[in-house]
Copies of this chain bind each other. A is one copy, B any other.
Amino acid sequence: MTANRICSLFGIRYPLVQAGMVWCSPWQLAAAVSNAGGLGVIGAASMHPATLAAHLRKCREATDRPFGVNLPLLYPDIAAQIAVILSADVPVVFTSAGTPAAHTARFKAAGRTVVHVVSSARFARKAEAAGVDAVVAEGFEAGGHNGREETTTLCLVPQVVRSVSLPVLAAGGIATGRAMLAAMALGAEGVQIGSRFVASLESSAHPDFKARVVAAGEGDTRLMLKRLTPVRLLRNKFSAAVEAAESAGAGEAQLRDLLGRGRAKKGMFEGELDEGELEIGQVAAQIDQVLPAAGIVAEIMAEFRETLETLRDPGFTRFLA
């Protein structure tokens, strides 16, 4: 068996990527994760081009290790953001929420490693055909925008692994070393972790949102707004209004009106917990404290190692004898 392809591809120690999340992933978080041996990723979606340029520059100053940037392909400012990314020293570009066909070649020509986030094996094959270097297979339990098939990480990862020859990162529902090992048993060669890093010291999430994530229990998130773009949110006053509108048969236009503009910023960055959109994964129920990002990486890798020792113990598989 050769070394892990994700570690080789990114030039990192641990096959653990911190998701580049809207409103939560500034240079401080990305640099801390990269310095801890994972791959830190800046979330471009919530940044004006000049802000993005500053974050990329500061991240480069704060770490000599590889790091990445996440660029959703569905926003209007994308040309300016692409120009910023191409002129910055950021080796890995994650694209999501759109088709990679139009942009992958340009990033590849500029020497960048390109990874696309997918919610189905069908999209994974398209991403492979577009020339990406790896895919993130993100399941139904993940926070934020999500696929229409509602395929869970446990079902999605094996489907994607058997459909492409690229290395696959698993995402959605992963916040611990046990879940990281489970994902790798399914054939993923690494993981992308989002929610857990929302609740990090270096995250730019509002402290009240971090506290709400820590307080979240089972059943506290729901995949919503399926008539627009499905998004997993913490339940709050806003989400209750969405559910009421939906069960009264509200159409797309009404839901867009209800959503309005800037709700993600309001909720996640400004801490308006009642009226904002609070994007987080189901795994929030397992997140019990806010830690420094380096501590999160260390804790996950320690649990990964311990769990692996358990599986390697001959007692574990006495039933195979």
| Chain A interfacial positions (CB closer than 8 Å to B) | 1-4, 7, 13-15, 120-122, 139-141, 148-156, 158-159, 172-174, 176, 178-179, 181-187, 218-219, 222-223, 247-249, 281-283, 285-286, 301, 304-305, 307-308, 310-313, 315-320
Contacts and interface: CB of A to CB of B under 8 A. Distances in A.
Q: A3, A120, A311 — which one has the most chain B CB atoms within 10 A of its CB?
A: A311
B154 A4 contact: no
Copy number in this complex?
2
A52 to B, nearest CB: 30
A121 B217 CA distance: 10
A2 B282 contact: no
A182 B155 CA distance: 11
Contact of A152 (B15, B140, B185, B308): B140
Contact of A3 (B152, B178, B179, B319): B319
Contacts of A1: 310, 313, 315-316
Nearest to A285: B159
A183 to B, nearest CB: 7
9 contacts: A1-B310, A1-B315, A120-B219, A141-B154, A152-B153, A155-B218, A179-B185, A308-B317, A311-B312
